[in-house]
Chains A and B, each alone.
Chain A
Amino acid sequence: MATPAAPAGGARNGAGPEWGGFEENIQGGGSAVIDMENMDDTSGSSFEDMGELHQRLREEEVDADAAAAEEEDGEFLGMKGFKGQLSRQVADQMWQAGKRQASRAFSLYANIDILRPYFDVEPAQVRSRLLESMIPIKMVNFPQKIAGELYGPLMLVFTLVAILLHGMKTSDTIIREGTLMGTAIGTCFGYWLGVSSFIYFLAYLCNAQITMLQMLALLGYGLFGHCIVLFITYNIHLHALFYLFWLLVGGLSTLRMVAVLVSRTVGPTQRLLLCGTLATLHMLFLLYLHFAYHKVVEGILDTLEGPNIPPMQRVPRDIPAVFPAARLPTAALNATAKAVAVTLQSH
């Protein structure tokens, strides 16, 4: 048994005797030892573990060689050699200690085990949580349980990004897919993280009992409704249908989030503030996602006639060529900024 080199959340602060013991173990045994505690996230044959063990053995050999060399030096040079040898040994030990501390700190902070408990889910659980996110609860006198996991919300955000990208169907015209993709990713992650933080801050002000992780999970699962609505309405372009879904599906998921928050807040003013803000932001985001990427398309199709455009495909055109007044000076154009400019222009 040896002290693991990568502490898995243990309170090892690198005390001196502990390191001494560690060294003795390696040098006394002369063989590589696997600490079974450390096996949970990488297999024994993984390259990094091999590399780490290899390096440890190499260090140990270098130490042994250096020690042998120093002994010879010491005998040869007598008293002066002894002092030199001592200082060299001290410097060497300090270097080894520093290196070990640095590698330990690195493996502690780069240890993704911190996030592991939040990904401990089964597919059945994810499915049931997805369905529950559309069902508003009635019992608000009693704090409702929120599952604190990050897998579902993260996957929903990525799915929303993919759906947004899918909404930009193509034809023969030029599409700035790079910028659109950056925008889509930025929008979705920005909404999830930003609005979660903002509502968490408001919850702190309103004395609501909710943690940041729970807020992230709640809002993440609330995006399931958005995914459904956008997926359907990007394929069937009917405004009336969109409004219906917006109210129905968007409303259901908002009601669910609102009910959970209400059950965890005390006082009518606080409840109103918190839930009103969340409901507004959530519904407006769905509206924004639909119109930022759809209205642009409609506006252009009305003014352009494109013989190359097949009837079933809609296209976000290259905006500056069409609306010169909306041309923004910077090269890094944001597609949504263009969309806003176009909407402002056309009204």
Chain B
Amino acid sequence: MAEAVESPGDPGTATPRPLFAGLSDISISQDIPVEGEITIPMRSRIREFDSSTLNESVQNTIMRDLKAVGKKFMHVLYPRKSNTLLRDWDLWGPLILCVTLALMLQRGSVDSEKDGGPQFAEVFVIVWFGAVTITLNSKLLGGNISFFQSLCVLGYCILPLTVAMLVCRLVLLAEPGPINFMVRLFVVIVMFAWSIVASTAFLADSQPPNRKALAVYPVFLFYFVISWMILTFTPQ
């Protein structure tokens, strides 16, 4: 049974009623429960994926994944505040980029007693362990981003540096010299800044507002190390 409760702010019925005066007549009845369980809607889409994508052709699967990766590349190249990278994270893009970068950096070592193998492993390890460290750091600082989402963002934001690597390879085909070095330095610096801006655009929202600098600094160091690897690369 509903009971009418008079709020203390009720001006009374004699005077003209102000705009929201009627709200004070609303009360909570005894039989409406005011406690309960918070439920979240289950994403049953996951299960649908399992059964429905198993029967499609391989080409469909690959094209769909490639399109998703390509879409995310576009988001990195034109960074806006969006959570496409965060919502549907995947690690294909970072893997492709990391392998490309490691392969291109590998061919620099033509030492006869080293076959260039360790360099691939070094780049790979540095990229992935660097990304893991940054993710752990941002989680420990109180960010509410998931582990794989952060890996996804950091991996995708290596794209500008991979482009820088390609440009450097092309520039290195020309005459060596200080101008060569200056051009490469300029390209790498621009791409480095682009990577940082892109990753900050995606990651900044997940941190508490007064600690953004603490979370962005390791990202800066990480991309600095990768830029250094790219800049000091010289094929012979």
B-contact 0/1 string along A32-43, CB 8 Å cutoff: 111010000111
Please tell me if the beta carbons of B139 and A123 are within 8 angstroms of each other in the complex: no
Complex-state Cα separation, A162 to B220, whole angstroms: 10
Task: Classify chain B's interface size.
Answer: 35 or more
Please tell me if the beta carbons of B126 and A181 are within 8 angstroms of each other in the complex: yes
Complex-state Cα separation, A126 to B229, whole angstroms: 29
Query: Which residue of B110, B126, B144, B181 is within 8 Å of A310 (Cβ)?
Result: B181
Q: Which B residues lie within 8 Å of A177 (CB)?
A: 119, 122, 229, 232-233
Complex-state Cα separation, A86 to B206, whole angstroms: 50
Residue among A158, A173, A318 facing the most chain B CB atoms (10 A cut-off): A158
B183 contacts partner chain A, Cβ-Cβ < 8 Å: no
Contact flag A155-B42 (CB < 8 Å), given A43-B146, A175-B232: no
Query: Which residue of A119, A175, A331 is within 8 Å of B114 (Cβ)?
Result: A331
Which residues of B are interface residues toward A (Cβ below 8 A)?
37-40, 42-43, 46, 89, 108-111, 113-114, 118-119, 121-123, 126, 136-137, 139-142, 144-149, 176-178, 181, 210-211, 213-214, 217-218, 221, 224-225, 228-229, 231-234, 236
Complex-state Cα separation, A116 to B141, whole angstroms: 7
Q: Which A residues lie within 8 Å of B176 (CB)?
A: 172, 308
Please tell me if the beta carbons of B144 and A155 are within 8 angstroms of each other in the complex: no
Please tell me if the beta carbons of B38 and A42 are within 8 angstroms of each other in the complex: no
A5 contacts partner chain B, Cβ-Cβ < 8 Å: no
17 A-B pairs, CB-CB below 8 angstroms? A54-B42, A112-B136, A115-B140, A119-B137, A122-B210, A123-B210, A123-B213, A154-B137, A155-B218, A162-B225, A170-B232, A174-B110, A177-B119, A177-B122, A181-B126, A181-B225, A310-B177
Complex-state Cα separation, A32 to B44, whole angstroms: 13
Complex-state Cα separation, A199 to B114, whole angstroms: 39
Please tell me if the beta carbons of B111 and A318 are within 8 angstroms of each other in the complex: yes
Contact flag A178-B118 (CB < 8 Å), given A31-B39, A310-B177: yes
Q: Which A residues lie within 8 Å of B147 (CB)?
A: 48
Please tell me if the beta carbons of B232 and A168 are within 8 angstroms of each other in the complex: yes
A197 contacts partner chain B, Cβ-Cβ < 8 Å: no
Q: Which B residues lie within 8 Å of A34 (CB)?
A: 38, 40
Please tell me if the beta carbons of B109 and A53 are within 8 angstroms of each other in the complex: no
Closest Cβ–Cβ distance, residue A107 to chain B (whole Å): 13
Please tell me if the beta carbons of B140 and A116 are within 8 angstroms of each other in the complex: yes
Please tell me if the beta carbons of A155 and B217 are within 8 angstroms of each other in the complex: yes
A109 contacts partner chain B, Cβ-Cβ < 8 Å: no
A19 contacts partner chain B, Cβ-Cβ < 8 Å: no
Please tell me if the beta carbons of B211 and A123 are within 8 angstroms of each other in the complex: yes
Please tell me if the beta carbons of A310 and B178 are within 8 angstroms of each other in the complex: yes
Complex-state Cα separation, A161 to B228, whole angstroms: 12
Restricting to A50-75, which residues have a CB under 8 Å from any CB of B?
A: 50, 53-54, 57
A83 contacts partner chain B, Cβ-Cβ < 8 Å: no
Query: Which residue of A48, A121, A162 is within 8 Å of B221 (Cβ)?
Result: A162
Restricting to A120-174, which residues have a CB under 8 Å from any CB of B?
A: 120-123, 126, 151, 154-155, 158-159, 161-162, 165-166, 168-174
Q: Which B residues lie within 8 Å of A43 (CB)?
A: 144-146
Q: Which B residues lie within 8 Å of A313 (CB)?
A: 181
B-contact 0/1 string along A178-200, CB 8 Å cutoff: 11011000000000000000000
Contact flag A31-B37 (CB < 8 Å), given A53-B42, A122-B210, A178-B118: yes
Q: Which A residues lie within 8 Å of B225 (CB)?
A: 161-162, 165, 181
Query: Which residue of B119, B181, B214, B233 is within 8 Å of A121 (Cβ)?
Result: B214
A280 contacts partner chain B, Cβ-Cβ < 8 Å: no
Complex-state Cα separation, A169 to B178, whole angstroms: 13
Q: Apart from A53-B42, A174-B236, A176-B111, list 13 A-B contacts with CB within 8 A.
A: A31-B39, A41-B144, A42-B146, A47-B146, A54-B42, A126-B214, A151-B137, A161-B225, A166-B228, A174-B109, A176-B114, A308-B176, A331-B114
